[in-house]
């Protein structure tokens, strides 16, 4: 079985609104940039394409049928993964691992600015009998979880403000971080807890983004790229679909991460930086625990001591995370792959971390789901 | 794209996905009918693994076997978490904000999402019980429960 590398990655957007392109051109521009990076012609060199689309987010029924043209995939195998894009990456990985393909392209995008009422789409993802009858903004599911978690750990809004500040300010050096800002802690403190106990500061906004990555077998990767980024391991897992049945659990993420650690003989000590879902501030902490980067007894102390900052010993979301870049719907996982790809190739400009040889990415599909994927990437150093 | 000097047009569209009639499922139907007819919350009981759980469905999430029995449970619930809901599902401000809560029941896996009523300052760990609509107004829905109130 061949090793699998990422040899090209391109994006377009990462802006609140991309009215200058439709979803087609946005994807096309991201794809061109990815192909140019590894010098491939999609019409000749690519064996298969994976598109990660969710019809309700695209606003087109059977939207995967729309994915082929802009990727250069006509008359080629194209399949859709209707899930978080890191799970789409896993499908591409398997196509190469199985020996069926040598080069696979994975695409995901967000045209969130086209959604007039994104909260209704989230509500529509909730159980029609047991959850929807209460007619509340779906972010209140996060409110319930946040209050429960904060009480259990003794974490205050001031603690959450440290995450907001860290991520939004990390993003100041990231050209994709449209929501980065110097954070005034007093303003955060005074902000209305509209999603009690969370304020708008605690919740990442949406962004428009298009991301395309090119995967290759070892043989092809070494031919086409002088800086391949290797997929060392990945796994994904889902818990019960019903929020009231599973309660406030991230067991599925813990299990996915443990699989990756076991299969790669890695543990958090060997990871130089983490790119993880932070669409709600408190969620960054829950995910850190699930990845065993900290634990329930040390999390508060580790946070207050700044251990998750760029100067810390367990760097989390140096890119700024979703709090700084915005959430690109299901393209989030692939967006983090892009950030890691730059760091691992020493191409992250002012954002570049000193020792960036291995990254762990953890993605979540957002409320009301419990679907997670984890991926370990390395530059082979 | 390079030949653009102004914003593109936007074309309006709707998804015709407004109306569904969801089948609730055989055991969930019994669950909703016991709320309607008896004014009681019952839980699904899995013969295979012995768990009681909510919400009700005809299979067990934990052991994967078929489930076809409801059992009575203690109606006293515990508030696991709560939030004051100010925005509806369209993001519009509610005229009458309400407390949303996640409520668990003794010896039952899972729980229910519902409203809290007759309460000034909810607390995690607070004990509550359901307040039902008048029996003639019930339709076989979680909306037959008006809210949960502190005991
Ligand atoms: Zn069972």
Is A270's Cβ below 8 Å from some Cβ in B? no
Smallest CA–CA distance from A151 into chain B, residue: B124
Any CB–CB contact under 8 A between A145 and chain B? Answer: yes
Domains of chain A: 4-116+207-230 (3.40.47.10), 118-205+231-378 (3.40.47.10)
Which residue out of B13, B61, B77, B85 would a mutagenesis test of the A interface target, given it has the greatest number of A Cβ atoms within 10 Å? Answer: B85
Query: A187: which 2 tokens?
Result: 């303003």
Question: Which chain B residue has the Cα nearest residue A138?
Answer: B89
Residue B2, pLDDT score: 53
Kindly determine whether residue A136 and residue B15, on different chains, have CB atoms separated by under 8 Å: no
Is the model's pLDDT at A159 over the cut of 80? yes
pLDDT at B16: 63
Which residue, among A119, A145, A151, has the nearest Cα to A132 in the 3D structure? A119
B4 has a pLDDT exceeding 70? no
3-state secondary structure B123-142: CCCCEEEEEECCHHHCCCCH
- Angle at the Cα of A329 from the Cα atoms of B112 and A125, rounded to 5 degrees: 30
Quote the CA–CA distance of B35 and B25 in Å, as a whole number: 15
Q: For chain B, how long is the longest CA-to-CA vector?
A: 69
Q: Which residue in the set A61, A117, A240 is minimally distant from B61, CB to CB?
A: A240
**Chains A, B: CB contacts under 8 A, how many?**
125
Is the predicted pLDDT of residue B85 greater than 90, yes or no? Answer: yes
**Chain B residue nearest residue A125, CA to CA:** B89
User: How far is B117 from chain A, CA to nearest CA, in Å?
Assistant: 14
Ligand 1 center to A129 CA (angstroms) = 22
Contact B15 A151 (CB under 8 A): no
Whole-number pLDDT of residue A64: 80
Q: Determine the residue of chain B that is closest to A194 in CA distance.
A: B86
pLDDT of residue B9: 80
Distance B47 CA to ligand 1 centre (A): 7
| ipTM reported for the complex surpasses 0.85 | yes
pLDDT at A48: 98
Mean pLDDT (chain A) is 96
Q: Which residues of B touch A (CB under 8 A)?
A: 1, 4, 7-8, 10, 13, 15, 17, 20, 22, 24, 28, 32, 53-55, 61, 80-91, 100-102, 104, 109-115, 124, 141-143
Return the pLDDT at B93.
Answer: 97
Segment A7-31 shows an average pLDDT of: 96
The answer to whether the beta carbons of residues A373 and A236 sit under 8 Å apart is yes
SS3 of residue A306 by DSSP: coil
pLDDT band at B112 (very low <50, low <70, confident <90, very high): very high
Interchain pair B8, A197: CB under 8 A? no
Q: Which of B28, B99, B102 to mutate to test the interface with A (most CBs of A within 10 A)?
A: B102
| Chain A, window 101-130: residues with a beta carbon less than 8 angstroms from a chain B beta carbon | 114, 117, 119-120, 123-124, 127-130
* Segment B47-67, tens digit of pLDDT: 999 999 999 999 999 999 999
Quote the pTM value. 0.96
Rounded CA gap, A201 and A186, in Å?
12
pLDDT single digits (tens) A224-247? 999 999 999 999 999 998 999 999
pLDDT of A314 > 90? The answer is yes
CB within 8 Å of chain B, chain A residues 296-315: none
Going along B8-74, which residue ranges are E strands?
A: 42-45, 52-54, 69-72
At A203, the pLDDT band (50, 70, 90 cuts) reads very high
What's residue B7's pLDDT? 64
CA pair distance B136, A101, nearest whole angstrom: 64
Domain ranges of chain B: 4-150
pLDDT of residue B13: 81
Mutate to test the interface with A, among B83, B109, B111 (most CBs of A within 10 A): B83
pLDDT score at A148: 98
Domain B4-150 sits in CATH at 2.40.50.140
In chain A, which among 191-250 make CB contacts under 8 A with chain B?
A: 194-197, 240, 242-248
Instruction: Mark yes or no for CB contact B17/A196 under 8 Å.
Output: no
Q: Give A168-202 pLDDT, tens digit per residue.
A: 999 999 999 999 999 999 999 999 999 999 999 99
Query: Is the pLDDT reported for residue B87 higher than 90?
Result: yes
- Distance in Å, alpha carbon of B77 to nearest chain A alpha carbon: 13
Average pLDDT across chain B, whole number: 93
Q: Which residue of A has its CA nearest to B32?
A: A129
Average pLDDT over residues A107-123: 94
Tell me the mean pLDDT in the region A96-101: 97
Residue A73 C-alpha, separation from nearest chain B C-alpha, in angstroms: 21
Is the separation of the CB atoms in A236 and A259 below 8 Å?
no
**How close, in Å, is residue A115 to chain B by CA atoms?**
10
* pLDDT greater than 90 at residue A161: yes
Q: How far is the CA of A190 from the CAs of A142, A201, A278, in angstroms?
A: 20, 11, 21
Using 50, 70 and 90 to split pLDDT, how confident is the model at B104?
Answer: very high
Average pLDDT over residues B30-45: 98
Inter-chain touch B85–A120, beta carbons under 8 Å: no
What are A242-284's pLDDT values in tens digits? Answer: 999 999 999 999 999 999 999 999 999 999 999 999 999 999 9
Q: How far apart, in whole angstroms, are the C-alpha atoms of residue A327 and residue A84?
A: 12
């Amino acid at each position: 079985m061949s090793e699998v590398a990422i040899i090209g990655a391109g994006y377009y957007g990462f802006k609140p609104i991309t009215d200058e392109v439709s979803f087609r051109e946005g994807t096309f521009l991201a794809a061109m940039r990815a192909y140019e990076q590894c010098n491939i012609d999609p019409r000749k060199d690519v064996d298969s394409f994976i598109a990660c689309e969710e019809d309700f987010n695209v606003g087109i029924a059977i939207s995967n049928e729309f994915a082929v043209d802009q990727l250069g995939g006509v008359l080629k195998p194209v399949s859709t993964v209707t899930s978080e894009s890191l799970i789409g990456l896993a499908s591409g990985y398997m196509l190469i691992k199985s020996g069926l393909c040598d080069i696979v392209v994975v695409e995901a995008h967000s045209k969130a600015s086209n959604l007039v009422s994104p909260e209704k789409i989230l509500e529509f993802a909730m159980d029609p009998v047991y959850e929807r009858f209460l007619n509340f903004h779906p972010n209140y599911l996060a409110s319930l979880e946040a209050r429960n978690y904060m009480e259990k750990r003794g974490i205050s809004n001031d603690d959450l403000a440290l995450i907001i500040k860290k991520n939004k300010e990390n993003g100041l050096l990231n050209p994709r971080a449209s929501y980065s800002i110097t954070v005034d802690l007093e303003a955060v403190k005074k902000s209305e807890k509209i999603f009690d106990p969370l304020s708008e500061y605690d919740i990442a906004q949406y962004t428009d983004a298009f991301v395309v990555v090119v995967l290759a077998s070892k043989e092809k990767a070494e031919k086409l790229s002088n800086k391949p980024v290797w997929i060392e391991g990945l796994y994904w897992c889902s818990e019960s679909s019903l929020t009231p049945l599973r309660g406030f659990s991230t067991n599925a993420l813990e299990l996915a991460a443990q699989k990756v650690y076991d299969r790669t003989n890695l543990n958090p000590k060997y990871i130089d930086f983490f790119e993880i879902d932070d669409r709600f501030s408190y969620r960054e902490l829950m995910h850190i625990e699930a990845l065993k980067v900290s634990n329930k007894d040390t999390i508060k102390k580790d946070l207050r001591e700044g251990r998750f900052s760029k100067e810390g010993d367990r760097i989390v979301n140096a890119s700024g995370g979703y709090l700084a870049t915005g959430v690109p719907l299901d393209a989030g996982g692939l967006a983090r792959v892009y950030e890691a790809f730059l760091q691992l190739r020493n191409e992250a400009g002012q954002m570049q971390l000193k020792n960036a040889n291995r990254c762990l990415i953890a993605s979540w599909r957002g409320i009301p789901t419990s679907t997670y994927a984890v991926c370990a990437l390395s530059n082979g150093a | 794209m390079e030949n653009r000097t102004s914003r593109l047009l936007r074309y309006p569209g709707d998804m015709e996905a407004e109306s569904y009639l969801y089948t609730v499922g055989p055991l969930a139907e019994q669950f909703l009918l016991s709320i309607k007819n008896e004014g009681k919350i019952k839980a699904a009981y899995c013969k295979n693994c012995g768990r009681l759980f909510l919400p009700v469905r005809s299979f067990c999430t934990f052991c994967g076997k078929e489930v076809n029995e409801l059992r009575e449970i203690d109606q006293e619930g515990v508030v696991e978490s709560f939030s004051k809901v100010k925005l509806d599902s369209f993001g519009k401000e509610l005229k009458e904000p309400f407390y949303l809560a996640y409520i668990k029941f003794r010896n039952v896996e899972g729980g229910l999402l519902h409203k809290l009523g007759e309460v000034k300052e909810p607390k995690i760990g607070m004990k509550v019980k359901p307040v039902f609509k008048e029996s003639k107004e019930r339709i076989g829905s979680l909306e037959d429960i008006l809210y949960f109130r502190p005991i």
